Structure 1
Amino acid sequence: MEGILYKNLLQQGSSQKCIQGEDGRFFTLREFEIEGGYKASRNWKQSVRCLGWPLKFLIQKGFLQNPPRSRRKRTQQSDSSISIDPYPENSNECDMCCQGGMIYCCDTCSRSYHQDCHISHIDPKSNPWSCLNCRTKDMWQSCGKKQPLHQESEVLQMQMKPEQQLGRSAV
């Protein structure tokens, strides 16, 4: 599927209808991902591409602004008030305990967590925030094959870099 991405609308938030399809309809990033046949992906930053580049890459390189979003969601609604989930691309259940409630959504993948269920501390002010799974995956990918192999005794004597330690955000 092809469309036009409006950067000014994207800057208003990830739940904003910011992509105009070839038929003239507007879509959110998640809706565009689903319409394009990538429903199972649940990660628009990887599956939606601009000139062949994933949006995640364009955001990381500063060509696009990371759209703002709130990581808190209320999944249990009272009958008297109707609320719309502003971030349908993320799960409405904690990835650890499979329960709803006040959860924090990863900006990199579709996982969500309760503050107490995520292994490391979740800083609500951190924007964007990535879960430990995504930070670990990024760390392994950044190491690649360029890392020399070491004996176990050598590894145990090495100092860990800040981004390799649990509970710290990689910058």
Structure 2
Amino acid sequence: MDLLATLKHQLQQLRQQAEQLDAKPNAGKPQNWFDSSLFSCRSPHLADYVADAQRNLRHLSDNTLSNASRQRLVQRLSEQTSALTRAFRNVDTRRTPGAKVTKAKAVLQQVSASSQQLYQQLSDTQQFERRLLDMIALANRDNAPDAVPRTLALHARLGRCRKALSEIERQIQDLERRG
């Protein structure tokens, strides 16, 4: 089972537990469970917040998202899962199935860390590519005797850089397909 399918399953289990908790009358139950910046809903029902996280998980599989949007969504989903886990722990609903919640959090953190690392590596390599292009432009304007060999060496480095970029982009696509 891939990481996002595991997370989907965990969120479904959280939703079932939330619905059970919401069905119980509880005078001390908070009116708004979480910070409004973390979830798009405001509700006294915990199941509504789990549904919000599930919507974000479904949105993550949208192929029209940019890489930056996808990364932000993974981060938000990680924060939401952490908040949901704490909420369940605080209302004593985290019994033996609670280990599964921790496992989902670990899975999400693993996906998030891998994704963030790849996107950072992509960004660094793109910056290096831009610097190489600037160096090539400067070398082309230079009339020094060593300008031609230096330009050829820079073009070779640029080729290796672009090959690395292609590899990083392939790894990101593989991670997104698995997720």
TM category (shorter chain) comes to under 0.3
RCO (CA 8 Å, sep 6+): is it higher in 1 or 2?
2
Higher share in helix: 2
State the TM-score, normalizing by the size of structure 2.
0.22
